[in-house]
């Protein structure tokens, strides 16, 4: 009798699973999403339309999906990880040829009510596949070069497709998310040190490529980097977003101007005020207190996931939980760095808060797998 079989008996079945859901996580997710509803309501000038109400409906749908996914045994998700990856990969290729072009990038497939972004699906499929890979791999082979190369290829191929769309933000999240799963699985520190070294070289190469025939980034991406480095050079042009974002955020002060009293966001100084820059509305209207509270909620979500992962003796479950929480962390860390002027403007939404359909649904589905891992974790006899 293997360890797994011996512990399977302790895993809840049937309706009793509901008792084992990570309810604290559900609560934190709902709290963070509620902050989003409030901000969308405020941004629409005190109206549930056009953003808050659809967002609430989607969140409700996402929560149901999350709980349903959570009820499904974790080994099912492990077993379909390869399939999910291949499906996401095919969709990415499909969008390359037939996708809709929006905001200068080719990103989504129009499925009628929902605009599906395969790159969103890929983020979660990649985490699942890597977790499954390391679940399968012998532990002593983890740091062997050949076995390191396989996940690196699994990460870089879809990343190349996403970068080609082009979507720099998602590309960064894919690489970083994948790397974190590899790191958690125990890949040697040396590889990460080497990659860091190579990354520095690559960044230099990207800058060196500027203006040549083999230019690695689009002009607008270079422009964003330029204005990030010095927003004041073009206050009404490309630097406008960063400057206005910082003004709105900074003018919030300790306690903010009060709900619906934000002048900068309400008067349209802020670009994409309901999507990527929604944090500025919160920071302006509720000040430092409001901003730090959301950050605390996010920290809670990440910590609950990590604790759940550390208590999970199932390798796939633990790794997928860490992968999902890391992706979630990367979302808000990049977004907040961006609006605070710590990072260049890349199109990364604030998770659960920004207005957007497929991103929220995919994220909640991913938390569904986290829930599944939590519910179906092997429990040792104590």
Q: Which residues, in sequence order, are bridge partners of residue 328?
A: none
Our finding on whether 139 is near another protein (CB under 8 A) is yes
Our finding on whether 115 is near another protein (CB under 8 A) is no
d(CA 178, CA 155): 6
Q: Which two tokens stand for residue 270?
A: 């802020």
Nearest residue to 363 via CA among 371, 373, 351: 351
Our finding on whether 146 is near another protein (CB under 8 A) is no
- Half-sphere exposure at residue 266, Cβ-oriented, CA atoms within 13 angstroms: 14
Our finding on whether 220 is near another protein (CB under 8 A) is no
- Binders of another protein among residues 154 to 183 (CB under 8 A) are 180, 183
Quick count: other Cβ atoms within 10 Å of Cβ 231? 20
Tell me whether residue 48 or residue 240 sits nearer to another protein (CB atom). Answer: 240
Give min distance, CB of 248 to another protein, in A: 7
Our finding on whether 287 is near another protein (CB under 8 A) is yes
Q: How many residues does the chain have?
A: 382
Quick count: other Cβ atoms within 10 Å of Cβ 139? 10
Angle between helices 168-185 and 118-136 (to 10 degrees): 10
Window of 24-32, 42-50, 95-103, 280-288 that interacts with another protein by CB under 8 A: 280-288
Window of 105-113, 116-124, 293-301, 363-371 that interacts with another protein by CB under 8 A: 293-301
Contact residue for another protein among 23, 76, 136, 220 (CB under 8 A): 136
Phi and psi angles of residue 340, each rounded to the nearest 5 degrees, phi first: -90, 5
Tell me whether residue 46 or residue 253 sits nearer to another protein (CB atom). Answer: 253
Our finding on whether 292 is near another protein (CB under 8 A) is yes
Give min distance, CB of 237 to another protein, in A: 9
DSSP letters spanning 255-298: T-S-TT--HHHHTT-STTTTTTTHHHHHHHHHHHHHHHHHHHHH
Tell me whether residue 36 or residue 118 sits nearer to another protein (CB atom). Answer: 36
Interface residues with another protein (CB under 8 A) are 2-4, 135-136, 139, 180, 183-186, 236, 244, 246-254, 263-264, 267-270, 283, 287-288, 291-292, 295, 298-299, 302-303, 306, 309-310, 312-313, 315, 318-319, 322, 326, 329, 333, 336-337, 340, 342
């Amino acid at each position: 009798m293997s360890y797994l079989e011996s512990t399977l008996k302790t895993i809840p079945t049937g309706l009793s699973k509901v008792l084992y859901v990570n309810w604290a996580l559900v609560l934190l997710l709902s709290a963070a999403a509620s902050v989003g509803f409030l901000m969308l309501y405020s941004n629409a000038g005190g109206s549930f339309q056009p953003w808050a109400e659809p967002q609430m409906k989607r969140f409700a749908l996402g929560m149901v999906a999350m709980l349903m996914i959570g009820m499904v045994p974790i080994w099912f998700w492990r077993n379909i990880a390869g399939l999910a990856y291949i499906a996401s990969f095919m969709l990415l290729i499909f969008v390359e040829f037939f996708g809709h072009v929006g905001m200068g990038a080719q990103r989504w497939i129009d499925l009628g009510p929902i605009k599906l972004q395969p790159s969103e699906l890929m983020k979660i499929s990649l985490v699942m596949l890597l977790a499954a890979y390391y679940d399968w791999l012998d532990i002593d082979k983890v740091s062997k070069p050949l076995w390191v190369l396989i996940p690196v290829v699994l990460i870089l191929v879809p990343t190349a497709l996403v970068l080609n769309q082009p979507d720099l933000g998602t590309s960064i999240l894919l690489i970083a998310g994948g790397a974190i799963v590899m790191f958690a699985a125990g890949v040697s520190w040396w590889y990460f040190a080497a990659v860091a070294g190579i990354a520095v070289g690559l960044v230099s190469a990207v800058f060196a490529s500027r203006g040549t025939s083999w230019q690695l980034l689009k002009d607008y991406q270079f422009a964003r980097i330029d204005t990030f480095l010095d927003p004041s050079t073009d206050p009404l042009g490309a630097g406008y977003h960063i400057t206005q974002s910082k003004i709105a955020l900074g003018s919030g002060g300790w306690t903010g101007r009060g709900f619906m009293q934000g002048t900068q966001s309400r008067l349209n100084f802020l670009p994409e005020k309901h999507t990527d820059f929604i944090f500025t509305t919160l920071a302006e209207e509720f000040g430092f207190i409001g901003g730090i509270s959301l950050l605390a909620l996010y920290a809670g979500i990440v910590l609950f996931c990590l604790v759940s992962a550390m208590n999970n003796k199932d390798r796939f479950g633990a790794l997928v939980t860490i992968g999902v929480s890391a992706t979630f962390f990367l979302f808000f860390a990049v977004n907040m760095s961006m609006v605070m002027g710590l990072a260049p403007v890349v199109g990364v939404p604030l998770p659960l808060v920004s207005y957007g359909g497929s991103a929220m649904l995919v994220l909640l589905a991913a938390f569904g797998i986290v829930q599944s891992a939590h519910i179906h974790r092997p429990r040792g006899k104590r």
